[in-house]
């Protein structure tokens, strides 16, 4: 019999019969190895342990506790979920059930909706199935057999999936006892290896093939881990994330609120607005010298949006306004029936600003910045706290330049982005190039050209800054041009797309803008749209969640509270606050007739970074007892020392550099 050579992770080599399965090889080494093997990695590819090995390869046996097994546990768990659901509700059709970050889901087509009480029932059935520990058995079926089988069972979605498998690829079936599923695999050797460290979390609606026009399915989400400890850790992490929810913190810190009459719009409280303004002031300083800050109208004639293309593309998501009397009397032609749009973007406004007056090549690049408040009629189901709203402020800018200047402008923007993110404590940044979408405007030649420039720039950016990871988002560009998407990773590992740089050859053409070049000819500039924070509202939401409300001193709306222990210290407390404010600090007093314990608790819950406690002693010695948020220790120092230290710490990072 022909032999092949397997190479093990430790470099050891072993000759085995050609066509032997992974399990057979493991058994030949040691029965215990075979017993704990749930899968194998062959030349870097995760496979069933029962698959035959046909040629020389690097092999690694995967145990249930190996990191490679985690996706198998989750995927197997999805299969068991599907079996349990079909057990409990015969006639339910199964569709797909992939592994996702931290878990899995399965989409079902079922006439009756799931009920919250169903989850524990399903979970119970799953544990029973797992307890039976049926082996996973793979079979390769003929396409016709598979189609006939699923058709006969009324599994119409599976039939579609079989049809979608490319010719020449096997139609694989995985059996677990009586139940089976069409599946690419791989799987572990039996359902028993899934273990018990899983939990069904929630269910929701979803769409077949992600198509909102298509059939609506019901999705069940679960999480699964190798051990109870890992599961518990994950659930604990979810609880922690919930505590940081900016909607909850916003209320506790008295920053903002939402109410029924203004769906998707923010009521900024005084403290929240102070935070907002601290962000705007910072960004404004970062623009100084390079950008001209402008302000374009909030409401502009519909025709402008037709020219820009927004009306055609995003009409459903735009707010349109007429005069109130025109609304009441829509047929009265004597009244102004003109339709205006609330701006959803700043760019058409900035184009008008560029157009005003003749521009020379000497003026370029023209960089117009605006903290523009835009309105977008977002779908009701999309709204989410500060993260997705219908009115938000962008730190927007448009650069009008020549094609020759494009690369340098993109790099300049990139430098600013990275510097800003660093100031807010974000170290890891991913920049992805989003290329032409299916639905778009402009010629292919234009897209080729623009994408090529950005590809080149992306390579340069990555070469110049080791913090930048890069990638490509195929087909994710905007309708008018390709873009860079900047994604930040927050303190608890979540990713947020914030910045964007978009190259646009279209808008200049649509609006017919030009500059006079050195040769006296009219030339069309290129436009670069760029935002760093993106939506300031959302960016603050991210900051609040990332810091858990423990904002750095320079951003905290109330930087310190001077709290008295006895009323004898009131006068001194007032003097201290006066001195602190004189130093530019945002400070409040708490002279209430309450115990110091009460005050400490209250200001801690409100996330005030610094508590300056003053009693009789401090008043007599002109000192303060400094207690930092999150610490139960306090340090007594002179008022002057405290002011100097806080003033230094509260200086925004950009001002410290100068």
Partner RNA sequence: GCCGCAAUAGCUCAGCCGGUAGAGCACCGCAUUCGUAAUGCGGGGGUCGGGGGUUCGAGUCCCUCUUGCGGCACCA
For RNA, the closer CB: 102 or 651: 102
654 contacts: CB under 8 Å, gap ≥ 6? 282, 285, 286, 423
Q: Of 186 and 348, which has the nearer Cβ to RNA?
A: 348
User: Can 529 be counted among the known catalytic residues?
Assistant: yes
Neighbours of 623 (CB within 10 A): 21
Find out whether 580 and 562 touch, Cβ atoms under 8 Å: yes
Beta bridge partners of 106: 220
User: What is the SS3 assignment for 37?
Assistant: strand
Active-site residue among 394, 405, 502, 559?
A: 394
Identity of the residue, 38 or 569, whose beta carbon is nearer to RNA in the bound complex: 569
Active site residue 530: no
Task: Give min distance, CB of 616 to RNA, in A.
Answer: 4
The one catalytic residue in 48, 76, 181, 396 is 396
At its nearest, how many Å lie between RNA and the CB of residue 436? 13
Residue 388 C-beta: closest distance to RNA, Å: 6
Catalytic residue (choose from 388, 529, 530, 599): 529
User: Closer CB to RNA, residue 176 or residue 478?
Assistant: 478
Output 344 or 525, the one with its CB closest to RNA.
344
Cα angle 144-146-151, degrees, rounded to a multiple of 5: 95
At its nearest, how many Å lie between RNA and the CB of residue 613?
A: 4
Query: Which of the following is catalytic: 483, 530, 607, 623?
Result: 483
Bridge partners for 399 per DSSP: 367, 528
Enumerate residues 6+ apart whose C-beta is below 8 A from 36.
Answer: 63, 64
DSSP single-letter state for residue 364: P
**Tokens coding 556:** 């905290």
Select 522 or 595, whichever has its Cβ closest to RNA.
595
Q: Strand runs (DSSP E) across 128-192, as ranges? A: 136-141, 171-176, 179-182
Dihedral in degrees, nearest 10, Cα atoms 38, 43, 44, 47:
-30
Closest to RNA by CB, 233 vs 566, is 566
Q: What angle do CA 521, 523, 526 make, to 5 degrees?
A: 165
In degrees, to the nearest 5, what angle opens at C-alpha 242 toward C-alphas 240 and 247?
A: 135
Q: Which residue has the tokens 């990713």?
A: 495
Nearer to RNA, 132 or 617 (CB): 617
SS3 per residue for 516-536? ECCCCCEECCEEEEEEEEEEH
The least distance separating RNA from the CB of residue 593, rounded to whole angstroms, comes to 4
Verify whether residue 396 is a known catalytic residue.
yes
Q: 481 with 442: CB under 8 angstroms?
A: yes
- Least separation in angstroms between residue 309's CB and RNA is 9
Q: What are phi and psi of 66, to 5 degrees?
A: -75, 150
Residue with Cβ nearer RNA (604 or 651): 604
Instruction: Give the closest residue to 450 by CA, choosing from 509, 395, 515, 497.
Output: 509
CB of 606 to RNA, least distance (A): 9
Structure tokens at 228: 């109870």
Distances (CA, A) of 422 to 279, 397, 537, 585: 14, 20, 19, 23
Q: Which is nearer to RNA, 60 or 310 (CB)?
A: 310
Asked if residues 222 and 198 have their Cβ atoms less than 8 Å apart, the reply is yes
Instruction: Give the helix/strand (H/E) hosting 393.
Output: strand 391-401
Angle at which helix 639-649 crosses helix 570-582, to 10 degrees, equals: 40
CB nearer to RNA: give 18 or 628. 628
CA distance 60 to 49: 10
Look up residue 195 and give its DSSP letter.
-
CB of 560 to RNA, least distance (A): 12
Cα 413 from Cα 461, distance rounded (Å)? 11
Tell me the closest approach of the beta carbon of residue 75 to RNA, in angstroms.
Answer: 18
Q: How far apart are CA 324 and CA 369, in angstroms?
A: 32
* Catalytic annotation present for 394: yes
- Residue 374 has a CB neighbour count (10 Å cut-off) of 19
User: What's the rounded Cα separation, in Å, for the pair 575 and 562?
Assistant: 10
Tokens at 37, concatenated: 């093997």
Q: 3-state SS string over 140-155?
A: EECHHHHHHHHHHHCC
Catalytic residue among 77, 183, 347, 498: 347
End-to-end CA gap in the chain: 77
| CA nearest to 22, candidates 32, 8, 37 | 37
- Residue 202 CB, shortest distance to RNA, in Å, is 4
User: How many angstroms separate the CA atoms of 73 and 45, rounded?
Assistant: 17
The SS3 call for residue 484 is strand
If residue 485 lies in a helix (H) or strand (E), which one and from where to where?
A: strand 483-489
Rounded to a whole number of angstroms, the minimum distance from the CB of residue 259 to RNA is: 7
- Residue number, 193 or 478, with CB nearest to RNA: 478
DSSP state letter for 193: G
Q: State yes or no: is 216 an active-site residue.
A: no
Least CB distance to RNA at residue 146 (A): 26
Where in 12-94 does DSSP place strands (E)? 13-17, 37-42, 45-48, 57-63, 93-94
Q: Is 347 a catalytic residue?
A: yes
Q: Just list the catalytic residues.
A: 347, 376, 394, 396, 398, 483, 529
């Amino acid at each position: 019999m022909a032999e092949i050579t397997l190479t093990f992770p430790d470099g050891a080599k072993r000759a085995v019969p050609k066509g032997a399965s992974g399990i057979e090889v493991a058994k030949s080494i040691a029965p215990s190895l075979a017993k704990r093997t749930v899968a194998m990695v062959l030349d870097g590819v995760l496979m069933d342990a029962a698959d035959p090995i046909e040629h020389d390869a690097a092999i690694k046996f995967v145990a249930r506790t190996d990191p490679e097994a985690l996706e198998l546990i989750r995927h197997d768990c999805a299969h068991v979920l599907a079996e349990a659901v079909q057990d409990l509700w015969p006639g339910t059709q199964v569709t797909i059930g992939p592994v996702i970050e931290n878990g899995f889901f399965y989409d079902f087509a079922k006439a009756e909706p799931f009920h919250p009480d169903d989850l524990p029932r399903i979970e119970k059935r799953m544990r029973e199935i797992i307890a039976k520990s049926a082996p996973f058995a793979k079979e390769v079926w003929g396409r016709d057999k598979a189609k006939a089988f699923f058709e006969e069972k009324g599994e119409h979605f599976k039939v579609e999936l079989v049809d979608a498998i490319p010719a020449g690829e096997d139609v694989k079936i995985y059996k677990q006892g009586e139940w089976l599923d069409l599946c690419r695999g791989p799987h572990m050797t039996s359902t028993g290896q899934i273990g018990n460290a899983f939990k069904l979390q929630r269910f929701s609606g979803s769409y077949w093939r992600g198509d909102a026009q298509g059939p609506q399915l019901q999705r069940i989400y679960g999480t699964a881990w190798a051990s109870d400890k890992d599961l518990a850790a994950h659930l604990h992490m979810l609880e922690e994330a919930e505590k940081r929810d900016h909607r909850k913190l916003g209320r506790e810190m008295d920053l903002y609120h939402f109410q029924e009459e203004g769906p998707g719009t923010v009521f900024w409280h005084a403290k929240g607005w102070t935070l907002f303004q601290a962000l705007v002031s910072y960004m404004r300083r970062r623009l100084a010298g390079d950008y001209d800050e402008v302000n374009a109208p909030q409401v502009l004639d519909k025709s402008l949006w037709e020219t820009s293309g927004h009306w055609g593309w995003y009409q459903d998501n735009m707010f349109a306004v007429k005069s109130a009397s025109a609304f009441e009397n829509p047929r009265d032609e004597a009244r102004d029936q003109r339709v205006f749009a609330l701006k959803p973007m700043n760019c058409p406004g900035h184009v008008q600003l560029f157009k005003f007056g003749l521009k020379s090549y000497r003026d370029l690049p023209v960089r117009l910045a605006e903290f523009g408040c835009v309105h977008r009629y977002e779908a009701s189901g999309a709204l989410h706290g500060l993260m997705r709203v219908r009115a938000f402020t962008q730190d927007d800018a448009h650069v009008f330049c020549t094609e020759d200047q494009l690369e340098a402008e993109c790099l300049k923007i990139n430098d600013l982005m990275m510097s800003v993110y660093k100031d807010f404590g974000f170290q890891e940044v991913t920049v992805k190039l989003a290329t032409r979408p299916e639905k778009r405007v402009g010629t292919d030649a234009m897209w080729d050209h623009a994408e090529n420039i950005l590809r080149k720039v992306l390579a340069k950016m990555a070469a110049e800054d080791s913090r930048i990871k890069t990638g490509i988002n195929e087909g994710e560009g905007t309708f008018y041009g390709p873009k860079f998407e900047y994604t930040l990773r927050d303190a608890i590992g979540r990713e947020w797309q914030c910045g964007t740089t978009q190259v646009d050859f279209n808008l200049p053409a649509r609006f017919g803008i030009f500059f006079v070049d050195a040769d006296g000819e009219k030339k069309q500039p290129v436009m670069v749209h760029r935002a760093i924070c993106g939506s300031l509202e959302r960016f603050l939401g991210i900051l609040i969640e990332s810091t858990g409300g423990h904002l750095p001193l320079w951003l905290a709306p109330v930087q310190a509270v001077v709290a008295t222990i006895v009323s004898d210290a009131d006068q001194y407390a007032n003097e201290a606050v006066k001195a602190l404010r004189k130093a530019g600090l945002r400070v409040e007093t708490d002279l209430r007739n309450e115990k110091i314990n009460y005050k400490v608790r209250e200001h801690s819950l409100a996330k005030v970074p610094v508590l300056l406690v003053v009693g009789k002693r401090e008043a007599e010695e002109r000192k303060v007892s400094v207690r930092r948020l999150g610490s139960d220790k306090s340090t007594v120092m002179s008022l002057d020392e405290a002011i100097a230290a806080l003033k230094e710490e509260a200086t925004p990072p950009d001002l410290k550099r100068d």
